[in-house]
Structure 1
Amino acid sequence: MSLSLEHINDRNPVLFIAIGRQQAGKTTFLNTTAQYLKERGGTFQIWNADLLNKTHGLKLFHDETIEAPSLTRDDVKAWLQGKIKEQARERFDAVLDFGCGDKPLESLIEAVPEIATLQQQGIRVVVAHLIGPRLHDAKYLDGFSQPSTLTPDGTLIVCNGGVVPENRDEKLAFQEIMRHGAIEAALSKGALVQLFPRFSLMLDVTERELTFNEAMNGVEGQDGRAFGLVDRARVEKWWIHLVPDFFQEVPTEWLPSVQRN
């Protein structure tokens, strides 16, 4: 593979931050993003400050994940400050799983104001907000429409179809929340809203500690079982068609760069 034009032209490195309320699917989304980019030659660091997720954390699927040393606020702050200085100095892409809370972005900037200064050093800061279809998820976004010390270079609002009950249509489930003023305010400021496709086998794949490519190709999980032909076809439809369709709508400069043929 040859390096993409984005690499050749010295594109600005990206810090891609995923935030959201508890159980919004933030870690699942970042795991999918990391696997998708890796399969396309992406090289980036994975930072995990969400140590409360001990069952399906990023390190389970990405051994190279760099984790905060503890849950202590000061330790997390010092750790992030060090990683940010490293990114500014060495000019690499990174994705960050920050954790949950009602106002995680404000908490992040309050704890680590250096993130805002990254933009002054040519780092593109992109924030992905994971939301479900309930109205309190839209209210959660209200705080981000207020003036802040950080105006992201890219704002992606991810309507997570994975948290929509199986008996509901994904698009219909998000119709009401899409009319909320917080969504309209975000759109007026250049945010992109995307529906992340539901995958009914997500829990089965993660509990077997398989990558999506492994699940699709019949590799046995840690329980000694592989998916049957029907389920493998379901994985393939999601991984080969629906996931790429999602990322093709996201500006390439908002994501860690990949290599192209």
Structure 2
Amino acid sequence: MNYFQKTALFMGVATAINGLTFAAQAQFCADPSHTAAIKARLDQIADSQGIDMGDVGKAYENFALATIRPGTPIPENTQRFFSSARQTKTNDKYRNVVPDGVLPLVFVNFPAGPTETYANSVFYEVKALSGGLLPPSYSDYQILGFIDALGDSPAKTAGRIPAIIFITSADIKQISNATVAEAIFRGVAVWHAIGCEIPGSFNQLQLGAASLKNPVVYFLQLTLPEGIGPGIPGRLFMRNPT
């Protein structure tokens, strides 16, 4: 369930990251035959499965965390992470953020050096929205809070690169330039993936490969990131109460 990074030669980093980024941007869906799933379509799918309209976002989150990493579902996160930036911007109304999923970052010293693991340094955040760009101010500066918390994460403290992966409905075609700029300033990687519908299936969705929005953070650290996605096919679902 870890997210990997490794050291590499500079030219190797530049070539590999560029190839990874361009491939992800050119094919948001896992397959060209898939249809990008906008929020309205997610609502229709949820309704056909008996999921309440108020639960669509949660059902999409469950699907995304269960399928983005084939064979290794991401556990739902309930841990709070402090953000002084969000606290300041909201006049002490909100002091923390709670990302949907959290993973450790594993750093591999290439080619045969020791492996380092940094807890709570990769955030996954799932949004089923009908539009928007997720600027830093979104939802009482929640997005700013994510970046700020990652900027104080164990990975960042050790000089590594924490990351946030946004998984959204297809209405969100890009992430705000202001969010990306803030992440570059804090040395945090920003990734973005969307869900797509598989034609001819019974309401099955699949996440495409995530697109890296600020490769410069990896260039500066001579680091090669692990690609994220595509996921495996799945459906919207609600978890059974515990």
More helix by share: 1
TM class by shorter-chain length?
0.3 to 0.5
Relative to its length, the structure with more strand (as a share) is 2
TM-score (norm 2): 0.36
TM-score (norm 1): 0.34
